[in-house]
Structure 1
Amino acid sequence: MVAVPAGTVTLSDRRTGRRWPVEVGPCHMAAHPVTQAWYAEVTGHRPGTVQGDLLPVESVSWWDAVRFCNALSRRAGLTPAYHLRPEAGTAEWDARADGYRLPTEAEWEHACRAGSTGPRYGPLDEIAWYRGNSAERIHPVGGKRPNAWGLYDMLGNVWNWCWDLYDPEVYGTYRVLRGGGWSDEHWSCRASVRRRSHPTFRIDDVGFRVARSVAA
């Protein structure tokens, strides 16, 4: 886990043209996406279209990701962050809990940028696996240069599920995805790009990373 300092990030949405500033508190975030080995160790399951311990786990839904967070918290003796009722389609985040959780999209973008202001935190070929250099396949985590705060694969390789609803008035329960993946063109691998999907959706270029709140 890497310490991410507090700060302010301006989120934007190309569909609506809206921009809005968000103040972000300090948190800890995993240095790389959850791997297949880590996911299997915690859950006993190993989803994925290609097998490899150090490959990012993929073909996991948003619900799979938040269940993993709770299971990891219990395993570590921490208070789970989420109260989940999948049968009702509801999930509540207990912000007082010290357990693992998904980053908010503001936390994710703030952590991705790591103090940078451009579309990316470095030259794309040096920091990300995307369509132009991935040979149309997923790659082990940590194979590209990290950002200034020591976070790997913030762009490319797999999209990251975030906690947030995308736009509930228009898209209902759809959740936010960030970061771009191994099969995406270069324009999708930028710090500001937002994507959305249903929380039950699973595909071979979507994974996640975990975060933890910093005690007040």
Structure 2
Amino acid sequence: MITVPSGHVTLSDRRTERTWTVEVAAYRLAAYPLTQAAYAQLTGTHPGSTQAGQDGGRLPAHSLSWWDAVRYCNALSRQEGLTPAYQLPRTTDMADAGDAEEADVAWDRDADGYRLPTEAEWEHACRAGTTGPRYGPLDDIAWHRGNSRERIHEVAGRRPNPWGLYDMLGNVWEWCWDFYDPAVYGTYRVLRGGGWFDEHWSCRASVRRRSHPTLQIEDVGLRLARTLRP
């Protein structure tokens, strides 16, 4: 994992034409998206296109819901003797959970366990001190529709950003902690980064996408974060 320095980032929403600035404390972020091998090793299940007996190697874990992502964070925290970041509802079958239950996830911000980044943390890390729409030429840094041959690729196959983070753009979208716009979209959560099937305009540091937390989408994965404790 990479230590991301503190700073501030200005986020924007194209739909509402709103901008807002967020102060970001230093934290830890995985150098690349969670791999299928790592997910299968912990959970015993094979995410995305992998089959029984295969681990996916260094391909990103994908087709994971937001609920899958937060459960994985807690499971990995417990395995490593860390305090889980999330307090989840007692309901185990999230396909039957109502929106009120889904919104009732609590994040213990003092916990030292694994978690999802906030979208402000995500964009701050993606930009890595740069100010343009991307941290480098798109074909050099990202797998997108123009160069992916319409398939997922192994992590860390393109050039990292100035802070050593790979695949912040392209390959798979990444779940964030935040609600997208509760007043309009209810419990939908934020996705960031663009994916292997996206046109170039979707692979930019500022682009926001949303999805229902129970949906599993073939170009959506996750990247682990951890809070830095004093």
Confirm or deny that 1:156 pairs with 2:170: yes
Aligned partner of 2:12 in structure 1 is: 12
Percent identity over the alignment is 72
Superposition pairs of residues 34-49 of structure 1, within 5 angstroms:
34-49=34-49
Q: Which structure 1 segments of 5+ residues have no match?
A: none
TM-aligned CA deviation for residue 41 of structure 1: 1.1
Superposition pairs of residues 29-178 of structure 1, within 5 angstroms:
29-50=29-50, 52-85=56-89, 86=91, 87=97, 88-89=101-102, 90-178=104-192
Q: Deviations over 1:38-87 (max 9, x none)?
A: 00111111111256211000000000000000001001100000001154
**Counterpart of 1:56 in structure 2: which amino acid?**
P
Number of aligned residue pairs: 216
User: What is the distance in 1 between the residues matched to 2:47 and 2:26?
Assistant: 31
Normalising by structure 2, report the TM-score: 0.92
User: What is the distance in 2 between the residues matched to 1:105 and 1:199?
Assistant: 15
The 10-residue stretch of structure 1 (49-58 or 130-139) with the greater mean CA deviation from structure 2: 49-58
User: What is the distance in 2 between the residues matched to 1:81 and 1:177?
Assistant: 19
2:210 to 178, 185, 196: 196
Q: Deviations over 1:78-131 (max 9, x none)?
A: 000000115422211000100000000000000000000000000000000000
Normalising by structure 1, report the TM-score: 0.98
Q: Which structure 2 segments of 5+ residues have no match?
A: 92-96
1:179 to 193, 200, 207: 193
